[in-house]
């Protein structure tokens, strides 16, 4: 079969696999995703300015997350997440040197996911709501380059905070799927904090373990 025919059949194969994604209910998993974090301090994806002998670049915040989640009931998952978000706040080039200002945010969060569909459903699409809290480590890094000299200043601070949001898992098979989510972060539990804002993510997740739903367990106890 020609390669182009395989590409035409790929969406159908994915849909067929997804139709039986919940043939086996899994109990735990790990997720990897990339994100764009729209902080209050800047609402632009990219800003470039040129004036006189200066060249300024302002990039949006982007990064990634590693998450581990474990089922605690038919509908609830406990989730532990470690993130790394970076933003080039400003990069100014001029005759004789360059100044670069970088912002880094490292959240360590514990939260819960509530799945809206039953654990034993066979749908490939699994919508959920999520919330959590934890520390947000924020570091401001300023690098001055002057001819043959370089100076680096780092200022860091630790904030408590939390998030609420929701997402959608698209399970290609019972152990592998795609994940899409939106979260609203509240650094210092304040929506107006300059580091707070909406986060948009997409990634992959891998699941393992077998889970026996509470309804099936009760039915088996009744039968015995």
44 half-sphere exposure, CB direction, 13 A CA radius: 9
Q: Which fold has domain 28-223?
A: Porin (2.40.160)
CA distance 192 to 126: 32
**Beta strand spans in the chain (E):** 28-39, 46-51, 54-59, 61-71, 76-94, 97-115, 125-146, 149-173, 176-187, 197-208
The CA distance from 33 to 26, in Å, is 20
Domain residue extents for the chain: 28-223
pLDDT tier, 209 (very low <50, low <70, confident <90, very high otherwise): confident
What residues contact residue 224 under an 8 Å CB cut-off, 6+ apart? none
157-200 pLDDT, tens digit per residue, is 999 999 999 999 998 888 899 999 999 999 999 999 988 999 99
pLDDT of 90-132, one tens digit each?
Answer: 666 666 677 777 888 999 999 999 999 887 777 888 999 999 9
Per cent of the chain over pLDDT 90 is: 43
Mean pLDDT, residues 192-216:
86
* pLDDT value, residue 116: 93
Q: What is the pTM of this model?
A: 0.77
Cα(first)–Cα(last) distance of the chain, in Å? 53
Q: Token pair 């970076």 is at which residue?
A: 86
The DSSP secondary-structure symbol of 60 reads P
Biggest alpha carbon–alpha carbon distance for the chain: 84
Q: Which two tokens stand for residue 128?
A: 């959920």
Q: Are 183 and 201 in contact (CB under 8 A)?
A: yes
Looking up tokens 């200066």 gives 54
Averaged pLDDT score across all residues of the chain: 80
Residues ≥6 apart with Cβ < 8 Å to 178: 169, 170, 172, 202, 203, 204, 205
Query: What whole-number distance in Å separates Cα of residue 165 and Cα of residue 51?
Result: 41
| CA-wise closest residue to 63 among 220, 204, 202 | 202
């Amino acid at each position: 079969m020609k390669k182009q025919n395989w590409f035409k059949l790929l969406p159908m194969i994915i849909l067929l696999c997804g139709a039986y994604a919940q043939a086996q209910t899994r109990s735990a998993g790990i997720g990897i995703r990339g994100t764009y974090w729209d902080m209050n301090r800047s609402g632009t994806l990219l800003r470039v300015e040129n004036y006189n002998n200066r060249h300024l670049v302002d990039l949006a915040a982007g990064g990634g997350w590693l998450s581990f989640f474990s089922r605690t009931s038919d509908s609830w998952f406990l989730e532990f997440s470690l993130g790394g978000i970076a933003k080039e706040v400003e990069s100014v080039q001029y005759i004789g040197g360059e100044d670069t200002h970088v912002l880094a945010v490292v959240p360590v969060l514990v939260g819960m996911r509530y799945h809206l569909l039953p654990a034993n459903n066979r749908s490939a699409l699994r919508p959920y709501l999520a919330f959590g809290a934890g520390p947000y480590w924020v570091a401001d890094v300023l690098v001055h380059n002057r001819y043959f000299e370089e100076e680096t200043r780092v200022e860091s601070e630790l904030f408590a905070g939390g998030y609420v949001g929701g997402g959608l898992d698209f399970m290609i098979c019972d152990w592998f799927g795609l994940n899409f989510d939106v979260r609203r972060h509240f650094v210092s539990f304040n929506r107006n904090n300059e580091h707070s804002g909406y986060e948009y993510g997409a990634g992959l997740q891998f699941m393992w373990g077998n889970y026996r739903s509470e309804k099936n367990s009760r039915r088996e106890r009744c039968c015995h």
